[in-house]
Amino acid sequence: MNTSLVLLEEELRSLSRDHALGITFPPNCFTSMQAKFVEYESRRSLAVAFPVLEESLNPLRTMQGGFIVAAFDNVFGPLSYLAARVPCVTLNLNTQFVRPIEPGDQLTVRATVVSRNAQVLQMTGEAFNSRHKVIATASATATIARTGPRNGPQGSAS
């Protein structure tokens, strides 16, 4: 295992200890797409590989756009959690398709945090095939979820 994935494992264990929120990580949607972590830069970027499976093909026998968007979401979601250190909720996810990807190939999505403040994360991503050709690009905005009581430091009593 490369050192960036060791760091990823360590950070995930730390988050699990710090937040007993009942979060399943990685989520079932990640595992059902047979995703594999490829590379991680702490709180900054994450790359994940997805095989192009038969069940993800459209009638033209290329990966359906919705599955490509799901692949992006399956990278933006974990990256936002790792970057913010608390759960996040996607506000929008915009995708631009460049070329098709065929069965038997591998889609690799690399996402990067562009900006972060106390409430919002902005991220961009690129999806490549095994020949390093761009398949699609995307951008996403996530809001950082607050898990404390409504009357606590993040909220005020009415």
Q: Would you say residue 59 lies in a domain?
A: yes
In a domain, 152, yes or no: no
CATH of the domain at 33: 3.10.129.10
Residue pointed to by tokens 């994940």: 48
- Is residue 156, in this structure, part of any structural domain at all? no
Q: How many structural domains is the chain composed of?
A: 1
Sequence length of the chain is 158
**Is 149 a member of any domain?**
no
151, part of any domain? no
Note whether residue 157 is domain-resident: no
pTM: 0.88
Sign of CA dihedral 27, 38, 100, 69: positive
pLDDT tens digits along 83-92: 999 889 999 9
Q: What mean pLDDT do residues 71-99 have? A: 95
**Residue numbers of the domain that contains 93:** 3-144
Residue 155 lies in a domain: no
Smallest CA-to-CA distance from 37 within 87, 96, 79 is with: 79
pLDDT of residue 23: 72
pLDDT tens track for 6-27: 999 998 888 877 665 567 777 8
